[in-house]
Structure formats: C-alpha cells, structure tokens
Structure 1
Amino acid sequence: MLAVAETTLQSATKRPRTITTTAESSMRDAFAKYADCLNELNDKRERVVKASRDITINSKKVIFQVHRMSKHNKEEVLEKAEKDLAAVTDQYVARLVKELGGTDFWKLRRAYSPGVQEYVEAATLFKFCKTGTLLNLGEINGILLPLSDPSLDPLQINVLDYLLGLADLTGELMRMAIGRISDGELEYAEKICRFVREIHRQLTLLAPDMDDSNEMKTKMDTMLQSVVKIENACFSVHVRGSECIPLLGSDVPSYSLLGLSDLE
C-alpha cells in the first residue's frame, strides 16, 4: 500500500511539470511569432524608407529640370521633365505602392511621407508650368491607381501629405517668379503671383482644421513669406512704370485643391 501511495504521489507531482512545460512551449512559440512579426515590420519599414528616399532624390531632379525653363526652351525642358516625372512614377513610386498595397499603410506614413510630399511638389510644379493649372488630389491619386494590384487596397496619398507638398510648391514658384522677373517676363511672374495667392487663400481656410499638424503651421508661415516676396518683386517693377497687379480678392482664376468646387 505504501509503495502504491508513493507511486501515485510521484505521478501527481510530475503532472504539473508536464502542463507547465507545454505552456512554456506555447509561450515560446507565441513570442517567436511576435518577434518574427516585428522583424518583418522593421524590414518593411527600411524598404519603405529607402523607396521614399529614392522618390525624394529623383523628384528633386524633376524640379531642377523644370527650373531650367524659359520662354526660349519651354517645350524642350517640359518634354524632358515629363519623361523624368514618368520615370519617377513608374520606377520609384511604383515600388512604394507595391510595398504598401494591401496593408494598413497609414501605420508607416512617417516612413514614406517625405518622399510623397516631394513627389506631389514635383508633379504639381510640372502641371502648372505645362498647363497653368493645379494638379489636384483626386488626379494625383488617379495616377497611382494603375500601379496597384487590383486585388489589394491601393495606396492613396492622404490630404495632409498632399497639402504639405503643395505648401512646398509655393516656395519653388516663388523662386521661379523671381527668375522670370530677372529675365523680363513680368507677365508670367504675375501669373505665378495670382496662382500662389489663391493657393495660400485656400490653405488659410483649411489650416485651422489641422490643429494637430505643427508641420503644416510652419509651412503656412513660409508660404506667406513666399507670397510677400513675389508681390514685392512684382511691385518693385510696377513702381518703375507698369500697371498694377490685381489685388487679393479680385477676379482671378480659381484653383481648387482637392478636385472640388471653390471652398467657401
């Protein structure tokens, strides 16, 4: 009887150890899967950062190409810029779209936002120089749509990244306007002035609803400085004997930012 009792006691003592070992094994498996997920996310983030960096570098090349434009070589420069922009879209933006398609891409927004903003800046600058109009958010997302796998949720540029890129656009347009004035193309500089004024006006209406974006507030201040610089440059020419530029609020073309009608 004593021997049987000892055997039963030993068996009872061993059972918890077996259960504990099984639980520990399951926990190790769970942690291993979690570690794999983290490693996969970190690898994806690194690939997205590199794709964003490549987009930034090559979008800047498009911007530099557009700045070579003058009234003597406009067609030639814009043709080259269009090809360069298409290459950025097909090679670098397509890689980013492929990497983020079908995922919660907003989780990695900070990793790809700089590249997207630079791409928006380059695309909108080219569109203005070619047609005198603004490439709105719906149109730019339409360009990205064919790059996505139809079976996956497509990457779409959000409103904030578009507006941040648009704010940077005004700085490039300011530099272009100053250059046009130096080349004696006052009429084109005035066109840029009206365009930048309208962008600033519409963003001024939107900015108060973006309280959580300190970056946008900073860029709004910079944008206002760009508007003032263009106006001062144009005004200094008029003082020497030309007609006055229409003031803010006069009858100027409308440039809708998001593909909608004029903001009220």
Structure 2
Amino acid sequence: MLLRSHGRWAFNATVEIRGHMRGCFSSGLITESSAKRLKTTMATENPNPFRHEFEKYCEHLNQLNEKRERLVKASRDVTQNSKKVIFQVHRIGNDDKETVLKQAEKDLNGVRKQHLSRVANELQGNVNDAWKLRRAFSPGIQEYVEAATVLEFCKSGKLLTVADLNNEISKLGDSSTSQFKINILDYLLGIGDLTGELMRLAISQVAAGEVETAKRICNFVRDLYKELSLVAPIMDDNNDMNKKMEIMLQSLVKIENDGHGCLNQVIHQLYNVFLQLAMLFVLEVQRTYLKLRVNSIHTK
C-alpha cells in the first residue's frame, strides 16, 4: 500500500509539473528553447533503461533490411544470368553440341563466381539469416539449380544432386566459417522447373528427327515426376511445390503427345512410301504382262 501511494503521489506530481510547464510556456514565461533544454536535462537525469536496448534492436533490424535488399539484387542477377545459360543449352540443335555445352559450362561458372558468391558471402557464418531471408534469394537459387541440372543432363543424362551443387558452392567462401548451402526446398523447387526446360528440349529434338533422344527425355521426366509425387505432399510449405507438380505433369503430357504425334507421322510417311512402292510394283507387273502378250501375238 505504501508503494502504491508513493507511486500515485509521483504520478500526480508529474502531472502537476507538466501542467505547470504548459501554462508557463503558453504565457511566455518559458521559451521554446528553454523547454527543449529542460526536457533534455530531465532525460539525462532520468535515463530510460529500455532506450539503449531498443536502439540495439533498431540497428539490428536496419542491418537486416539492408542485407535483404542486397540479397534481392544478387538473386536478380543470378536469375538473369542463369536464364542465359539455359538459352545457351537450347542451342544444341542448331550448333555443335560439344561447343555449346562448353560455352554453357563457362557461363555457369561465371554465374557462380560473380553473382552466386555475393549471396554466399552475405549469408556465410549465419545460418539463422539464411532461413530468415530465404524468400529474398530463393528465386535466384531455384533458377541456378535449373540451369545447372539441365546442363548436367545434356552432358551425362543424369540428375545433379544437391550435394554436388553445394560442393561447388563450398569453393566460394571461407572454410573457417559455416558456409552457405542450397537447402533441400530450393533444390526441389528448381528441379520442378527443370522439367519445363526438358520439355522444350524434347520437342526441339523431335523436330530435328532425334526421336530416341526425345524418348530418353520423356522417360527421365516420367521417373522424376513419379518420385517427386511421393515427396511433395510431405514437404514443409509445399504450396509452391504443388503448383510446380501440376506444371510438371503438363510438361510430361506434352512430351508424350508430341512423341506419339511424331511416331504417328513417321508411320504415316512409311505407309505412303509403301503404297507408292506397291503401285510401282503393280504397274511394272502390268507392263511386263503386256510385253509378253505382244510378243506372243507376233510369234503367232
């Protein structure tokens, strides 16, 4: 009760002092500069114990926001240059395959050293920030995974694993601190985008007459969709993955339809060739028969 009464007295005294100061300020007894000096003096005499802590929180949030902006810019550069690598890979049908793949690999190394290294340096040594700011750099990581995996498929026909990708990224940072790694969520989302590029590659191969290559791509995408169908339902934050699974199924259907259409076209062409050969054979038989008839008439 005593403490409560003292607290009420202090509060009432503070209210009275402030009211008195307002009256003095309105009457002109205290100038504005004097009021500011008095306020500063009271603040220094009675410092707020929470002010210093909130200033540290404010500084931390400002630094976090600046880091987010730098990650967004770096992720945008990774996305743009990774797309250039994918466009380079799609030139396989027009130019020499070895030359195209070597240039694409060179461009991918440039993306890793010039742009992806900026993301790695920002997040190196702080695992918590990598998850806090994941949305800031996730689009660029997904595009990089897509470019690296489509290049590896064109080279070896195999799927590049997340361990292989992180092994290359580990060469960018300082080994004495905890290094940035591509997390499994961004890797799977990038693999979801991979099937769209493989669908375009398969269609271009069909148009070039490489039916076996298109068939191999179709089998690869089918197996990939079958395996990811087991993983997607149990993923954390799987809304994005569910959308990519729908697009993956559409890509698979397009590859199959285009492959079957090409096969039907080949069969139709073979059928036409067979009919022409059959007609030529019939005409040759008729011509031979007529010659024999004419020769038999002349001999009689």
Query: TM-score with structure 1 length normalisation?
Result: 0.81
Instruction: Find runs of 4+ consecutive structure 1 residues off by over 6 angstroms.
Output: none
More off after superposition, 191-200 vs 208-217? 208-217
- Alignment of 1:74 with 2:97, yes or no, is yes
Q: Shift in Å at residue 71 of structure 1?
A: 7.3
Paired residue for 1:34?
Answer: 57
Paired residue for 2:298?
Answer: none
Unaligned runs of 5+ residues in structure 2 are 1-12, 14-40, 268-300
227, 233, 240: which one aligns with 1:202: 227
Paired residue for 2:162?
Answer: 137
Paired residue for 1:63?
Answer: 86
Paired residue for 1:248?
Answer: none
Rounded to whole Å, the distance in 2 between the matches of 1:144 and 1:53 is: 18
Deviations 1:132-172 (A, max 9, x none): 11101111111111112112111111111101000100000
Paired residue for 1:49?
Answer: 72
Q: Shift in Å at residue 20 of structure 1?
A: 8.0
Opposite residue 57 of structure 1, the aligned amino acid is Q
- Alignment of 1:148 with 2:173, yes or no, is yes
Paired residue for 1:124?
Answer: 149
92, 99, 122: which one aligns with 2:115: 92
Deviations 1:37-96 (A, max 9, x none): 111000000001111111000000000010111275101111110100000011111111
CA contact (8 A) 2:93 2:204 kept: no
Paired residue for 1:3?
Answer: none
Rounded to whole Å, the distance in 1 between the matches of 2:48 and 2:124 is: 35
Q: Shift in Å at residue 210 of structure 1?
A: 1.8
Paired residue for 1:164?
Answer: 189
Paired residue for 2:22?
Answer: none
Unaligned runs of 5+ residues in structure 1 are 1-12, 243-264
Q: Structure 1 residues 117 and 23 mapped into 2: Cα distance closer, same or farther (>3 Å)?
A: farther
Paired residue for 1:193?
Answer: 218
Q: Shift in Å at residue 211 of structure 1?
A: 5.7
**Equivalent residue of 1:151, what SS?**
coil
Opposite residue 54 of structure 1, the aligned amino acid is D
Greater RCO (CA < 8 Å, at least 6 residues apart):
1
Kindly tell me the number of residue pairs found equivalent between the two proteins: 226
Root mean square deviation of aligned Cα: 1.9
Q: Shift in Å at residue 212 of structure 1?
A: 2.9
Q: Shift in Å at residue 99 of structure 1?
A: 0.7
- Alignment of 1:24 with 2:47, yes or no, is yes
Identical amino acids, percent of aligned pairs: 54
CA contact (8 A) 2:124 2:178 kept: yes
**Equivalent residue of 1:42, what SS?**
helix
Query: TM-score with structure 2 length normalisation?
Result: 0.72
Opposite residue 132 of structure 1, the aligned amino acid is G
